[in-house]
A = this chain, B = another copy of it.
Amino acid sequence: MSLDIRRLDASQPDFVTQLDALLAWESVSDAQVQATVTGILAEVKHRGDAAVVEYSNRFDHVHAISMAELELGQERLQQALQGLPEEQRQALTTAADRVRRYHEQQKQESWDYREADGTLLGQKVTPMDRVGIYVPGGKAAYPSSVLMNAIPAHVAGVQEIIMVVPTPGGELNELVLAAAAVAGVSRVFTIGGAQAVAALAYGTETVPPVDKIVGPGNIYVATAKRQVFGTVGIDMIAGPSEILVVCDGDTDPDWIAMDLFSQAEHDEDAQAILISPDADFLDRVHSSIERLLPDMQRHEIIRTSLLERAALIHVSDLDEACRVTNRIAPEHLELSVADPQALLPHIRHAGAIFMGRHTSEALGDYCAGPNHVLPTSGTARFSSPLGVYDFQKRSSLIMCSPEGASELGKTASILARGEQLEAHARSAEYRILGDD
């Protein structure tokens, strides 16, 4: 079979324009979706459980009479875990242990220091009290996503982790429930959509209100999260998944083809890009793609993704590959080269960096340890992987000695009066010590 994958050459004068066009992605903000979500949020805010039950019955085709029927107990989660085939249970536990160990390195501690006059300055770090994890139902129900969202919260010290997962047609995903057991989830409600986001943000008679909501969801969930932002914290709204592979030309082209497929199979909008200074290698990977694709279970999704959004980019050398990488700021970056550590100082923007020919991106999705919730669509320029720090917050600490307050008061007074804020100035001046 022949597959017409886009080829770009960084030496062409219009390369940057072509690259920007390739990367362009705008999520559609639909007025109808906005209005529907606004209505659902208002109903749940005012009518609580009753509204959540009604929407769940309507959208998920379940037949609940009360919220009590839409909660799963810890014993149900344990039952799911124990019911897994040994191999799956072991893999889930191994993955959770590795993710936990990595994230423990991210935990931030309080600090303070004292100045010569006894004044103490510092920062107190505390976990959030309670957070909500949204887990999609149906086909996109990924147990790995439960681990990646819940474990950082657990490591941060969050006392209550509330998970919501819709059960379209009443269907439960045992792997997802098992992952919740392994990840330390406190309570699980089988609700989804904007109504679940509303329940978590505002609280109902049964669902306690949380401080932050994380996790992926469809356009209704994403829109609801945006609307409740401010009442609660939210994580980034993710775009389609992307991979950028930089290869020197010496990795098995089948490996690279499969790495590109592993992004493309997520959905038709996913983006897979390969950059190499070796034009022949681009051809060889192209051949591997054409040969391997027909046998893939998700070959239709992969084909559409590759045709619509993929590119094979030729560059003059690996330095240029790094410059193009920084412009793309990819979610996933594979440095499939002989000496990845030599390139690392030149990489400024990437969600996660997979170094060396053996480090396939798929390892990071499940069990290497780092989080698989990563900034998409170039947002790695200014944002970070989901982490423990997303479930901790900081309070500044200031404790002035009388002498310290007196000295600082003089400076504050001058600046406050420069801003015409007299009460600020006088409040500081009260603490200036007399000469007596």
Contact = CB atoms under 8 A, between A and B. Distances in A.
A341 B296 CA distance: 62
Contacts of A358: 400-402, 404-406, 431
Interface stretch (A7-15, A59-67, A184-192, A359-367): A359-367
Contact of A383 (B302, B347, B379, B393): B393
Interface stretch (A69-77, A260-268, A277-285, A313-321): A260-268
B258 A360 contact: no
A220 interface: no
A327 to B, nearest CB: 11
Contact of A398 (B121, B296, B354): B354
A105 B123 contact: yes
A411 interface: yes
Contact of A412 (B129, B297, B363): B363
A362 B424 contact: yes
Contacts of A355: 120, 397-399
Counting every copy of the chain, the complex holds 2
Q: Of A143, A265, A358, A377, which is in contact with the most chain B CB atoms at under 10 Å from its CB?
A: A358
A149 to B, nearest CB: 15
A50 interface: no
| Complex A-B, nearest 8 residue pairs according to Cβ-Cβ distance, in ascending order | A370-B396, A233-B382, A355-B399, A358-B405, A261-B423, A352-B396, A91-B414, A384-B394
24 contacts: A88-B415, A119-B368, A126-B348, A128-B381, A144-B415, A211-B381, A255-B427, A261-B427, A297-B420, A298-B423, A344-B397, A353-B395, A353-B397, A356-B400, A358-B404, A362-B425, A366-B416, A367-B408, A367-B411, A370-B398, A383-B393, A384-B394, A384-B395, A389-B389
Interface of A: 27, 87-88, 91-92, 94-95, 102, 105-106, 111, 113, 119-121, 123-124, 126, 128-129, 142-144, 175, 211-212, 230, 232-233, 237, 252, 254-255, 258-259, 261-262, 264-266, 296-298, 302, 340-341, 344, 347-356, 358-371, 374-375, 377, 379-385, 387, 389, 393-402, 404-406, 408-412, 414-416, 418-428, 430-431
